[in-house]
């Protein structure tokens, strides 16, 4: 057993303290490098696995079931896959028929990141979701991931539509003018309603509002956050405040008087907007809306049969073009 005197112990202690002080930076760097190695080595192994895995099984084939389900739900089955030679981890899903949607997939270290890029009235939504531990993803895992992503996207899209619709209508201080550009879709609507007076436009909006009120809607924001109704207001080029004031001043009966001789093209737009509004407000929870929907059209000269035939025709045309 070694026996040191107090003086010797002090010398030894002083030596180690001095050594540590002089080499503190080196010691810290060595610790950092050691920790970095512990983190990087497993990560590098995962990257190597990714490279070998995707060389044998490209991302579009590895997640074929998942991509197919998402394609059917969000792009009506019309999406086309784009792969990148310089980055096999990345894949895009895009449809020319729905050019406002781009879905991106990125696979790395066994995890899959899916990003939805969605434009609504030129306002973009970017929603990203990462799914973990998919290196050996089974068919059932792919189905679960796809369904979860679709459900989240539908919620995010609806929130985005409501936000943009509300901000667009609420921020409209003056009726807008047509741009004159062929690519501007509002020009077609401006022509359709060119001969319609401002009072009648207000009544068209209030027609839908009266139906929506059957779902218990009262607050202004509740109405403006209904995308079909907000879009209808923008299409009609009318201020929401004008519509609201006219309904308060003239009452609901004035709506049906104003729209009693409504042209067929305008009536078709009104049917479509009203039907979309009723659908979004969940008519199954508010059956009185269905009764109000049909009775309102009967009061302006369109029977239940005519309304159903028109909507059926519109749905068939939508399926044909989309």
List of residues 6+ apart from 97 with CB closer than 8 A: 75, 76, 78, 322
The pLDDT of residue 168:
78
C-alpha span between 279 and 9 (Å, rounded): 86
**How does DSSP classify residue 97?**
G
| Domain extent at residue 196 | 186-321
The pLDDT of residue 42:
56
- 316 in any annotated domain: yes
**Domain check: are 76 and 203 in the same one?**
no
**Domain check: are 210 and 269 in the same one?**
yes
Q: What is the dihedral of CA 261, 266, 272, 278, to 10 degrees?
A: -50
Structural domain total, the chain: 3
- 181 in any annotated domain: no
**Domain check: are 246 and 296 in the same one?**
yes
pLDDT in tens, the chain (322 residues): 556 666 666 666 666 666 556 666 676 776 676 665 555 555 556 656 778 888 889 999 999 999 999 999 999 999 999 999 899 999 999 999 999 999 999 998 889 999 999 998 889 999 999 999 998 899 999 999 999 999 999 999 989 988 888 887 776 655 555 444 555 555 555 566 777 888 999 999 999 999 998 888 767 778 888 888 988 888 888 888 899 999 999 999 999 999 988 888 889 989 999 999 988 887 677 888 889 999 999 999 999 999 999 999 888 776 654 4
CATH of the domain at 144: 3.30.1460
**Domain check: are 208 and 292 in the same one?**
yes
**Domain check: are 213 and 126 in the same one?**
no
The pLDDT of residue 279:
87
**Domain check: are 199 and 270 in the same one?**
yes
Number of alpha carbons in the 13 Å side-chain half-sphere of residue 155: 7
The pLDDT of residue 22:
60
Closest CA to 322 of 4, 132, 76, 89: 76
The pLDDT of residue 322:
45
């Amino acid at each position: 057993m070694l026996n040191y005197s107090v003086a010797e112990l002090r010398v030894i202690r002083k030596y180690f303290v001095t050594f540590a002080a002089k080499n503190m930076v080196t010691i810290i760097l060595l610790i950092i490098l050691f920790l970095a190695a512990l983190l990087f080595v497993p990560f590098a192994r995962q990257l190597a696995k990714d490279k070998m895995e995707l060389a044998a099984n490209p991302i579009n084939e590895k997640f074929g079931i998942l991509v197919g389900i998402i394609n059917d739900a969000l792009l009506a089955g019309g999406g086309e896959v784009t792969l990148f030679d310089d980055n096999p981890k990345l894949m895009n899903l895009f449809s020319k028929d729905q050019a406002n949607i781009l879905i991106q997939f990125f696979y790395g270290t066994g995890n899959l990141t899916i990003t939805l890029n969605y434009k609504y009235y030129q306002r973009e939504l970017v929603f990203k979701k990462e799914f973990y531990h998919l290196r050996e993803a089974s068919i059932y895992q792919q189905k679960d991931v796809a369904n979860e992503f679709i459900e989240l996207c539908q919620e995010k899209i609806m929130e985005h539509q409501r936000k943009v619709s509300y901000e667009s209508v609420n921020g409209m201080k003056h009726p807008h003018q047509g741009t004159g550009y062929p690519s501007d879709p509002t020009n077609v609507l401006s022509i359709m309603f060119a001969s319609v007076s401002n009072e009648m436009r207000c009544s068209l909006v209030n027609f839908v509002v009266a139906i929506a009120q059957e779902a218990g809607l009262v607050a202004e924001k509740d109405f403006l956050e209904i995308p079909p109704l907000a879009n209808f207001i923008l299409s009609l080029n009318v201020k929401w405040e004008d519509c609201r004031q006219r309904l308060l001043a003239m009452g609901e009966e004035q709506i049906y008087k104003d729209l009693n001789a409504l042209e067929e093209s305008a009536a078709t737009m009104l049917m479509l907007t009203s039907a979309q509004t009723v659908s979004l407000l969940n008519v199954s929870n508010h059956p009185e809306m269905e009764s109000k929907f049909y009775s309102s059209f009967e009061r302006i000269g369109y029977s239940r049969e005519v309304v159903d035939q028109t909507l059926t025709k519109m749905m068939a045309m939508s399926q044909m073009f989309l």
